[in-house]
């Protein structure tokens, strides 16, 4: 397995620790990032850094991507595919539109390559600890080819169906995440306005039926007023835009997601889009209400 050459594109909050897990597992890894300053620590650690995407593509058997929007993935794939050896497998960990994932798969297949849409969940903490969950969409053979490497940074990586289904599962995940985020922030903001001890409320509620990943991981950030992003408001809203688009396409009702997106939009308009999504707590805890009784802004 160690003779297989891997590429990793995107060394941000999630991608950097994921790439390092592959290196620590003994795999041959070459990395690339759009902004060179994020590649510099890897170079200093003796990890191969490609000078460009075409060069990286020509040197690897499997290439993992963890970038941002649909257009970023398309741009990277278009730069690499013509220079990749026949049969190269591209595994995308970004959260993008399912329709775009399906088109990428079709285009790569026509060029003799393979593609797996494999979005991740578990936050920056999951990336650092190697305990992510991965939703894989694509051919069974491609999933099985990627799985031994996914295990380097995932506690669970499952195939959920054909091309694009990994992204659809991620959107279902983001709908649940949005609801849990609102429940946490709304609950603690209510406790604060009621004059309760917010730290005590977080601890007691997290241990009962109200408990959730959000209470366990975002709750402490709220108490310490730590708004550094594991996952930013801007990125949360990016994912919500895909959720809303797909919900309209399949005639699914996601009213809670739309409410949370509207509230986060207010924070983004205030210039706070790069901060953690749990900053929603501060918006809800303000003296004035962020919306009227009808739910409108």
Which of 19, 240, 238, 237 lies closest to 127 in space, CA to CA? 19
Q: How many CB atoms lie within 10 A of CB 290?
A: 14
Domains and CATH numbers, the chain: 5-162 (3.40.50.720), 168-285 (1.10.1040.10)
Question: Per the residue annotation, which of 38, 151, 170, 193 is the catalytic one?
Answer: 170
Q: Convert the pLDDT of each residue in 128-141 to its tens digit.
A: 999 999 999 999 99
Q: If DSSP states are collapsed to H, E and C, what string results for 245-278? A: HHHHHHCCCCHHHHHHHHHHHHHHHCCCCCCEHH
Are 22 and 8 a contacting pair, CB within 8 Å?
yes
Low-confidence ranges of the chain (pLDDT < 70): 1-2, 287, 289-297
Phi, psi of 61 (to 5 degrees): -95, -35
Q: Convert the pLDDT of each residue in 13-50 to its tens digit.
A: 999 999 999 999 999 999 999 999 999 999 999 999 99
**Gap between the Cα atoms of 134 and 166, Å rounded:** 8
**Gap between the Cα atoms of 15 and 18, Å rounded:** 5
User: What is the maximum span of the chain, computed from C-alpha positions, in angstroms?
Assistant: 64
Residue 55 DSSP code = H
Active site annotation includes 170 = yes
Q: What is the pLDDT of residue 294?
A: 55
């Amino acid at each position: 397995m160690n003779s297989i050459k891997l590429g990793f594109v995107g060394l941000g909050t999630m991608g950097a620790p994921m790439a390092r897990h592959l290196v620590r597992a003994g795999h041959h890894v070459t990395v690339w990032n759009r902004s060179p300053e994020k590649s510099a620590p890897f170079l200093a650690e003796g990890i191969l850094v490609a000078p460009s995407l075409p060069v990286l593509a020509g040197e690897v058997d499997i290439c993992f991507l963890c970038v941002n929007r649909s257009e970023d993935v398309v741009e990277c794939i278009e730069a690499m595919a013509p220079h990749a050896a026949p049969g190269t497998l591209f595994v995308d960990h970004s959260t993008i539109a399912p329709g775009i994932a399906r088109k990428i798969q079709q285009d790569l297949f026509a060029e003799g390559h393979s593609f797996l849409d494999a979005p991740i969940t578990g936050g920056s903490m999951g990336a650092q600890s190697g305990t992510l969950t991965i939703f894989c969409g694509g051919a069974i053979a491609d999933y099985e080819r990627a799985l031994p490497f996914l295990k380097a940074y995932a506690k669970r990586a499952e195939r959920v169906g054909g091309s694009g289904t990994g992204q659809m599962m991620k959107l279902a995940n983001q709908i649940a995440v949005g609801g849990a985020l609102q429940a946490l922030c709304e609950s603690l903001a209510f406790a604060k306005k009621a004059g309760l001890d917010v730290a005590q409320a977080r601890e007691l509620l997290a241990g009962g039926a109200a408990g959730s990943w959000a209470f366990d991981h975002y709750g402490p950030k709220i108490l310490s007023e730590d708004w550094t992003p594991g996952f930013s408001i801007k990125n949360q809203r990016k994912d919500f835009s895909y959720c809303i688009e797909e919900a309209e396409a399949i005639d699914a009702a996601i009213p809670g997601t739309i409410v949370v997106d509207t509230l986060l939009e207010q924070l983004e308009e205030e210039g706070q889009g790069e901060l953690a999504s749990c900053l929603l707590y501060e918006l809800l805890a303000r003296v004035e209400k962020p919306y009227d009784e009808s739910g409108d802004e």
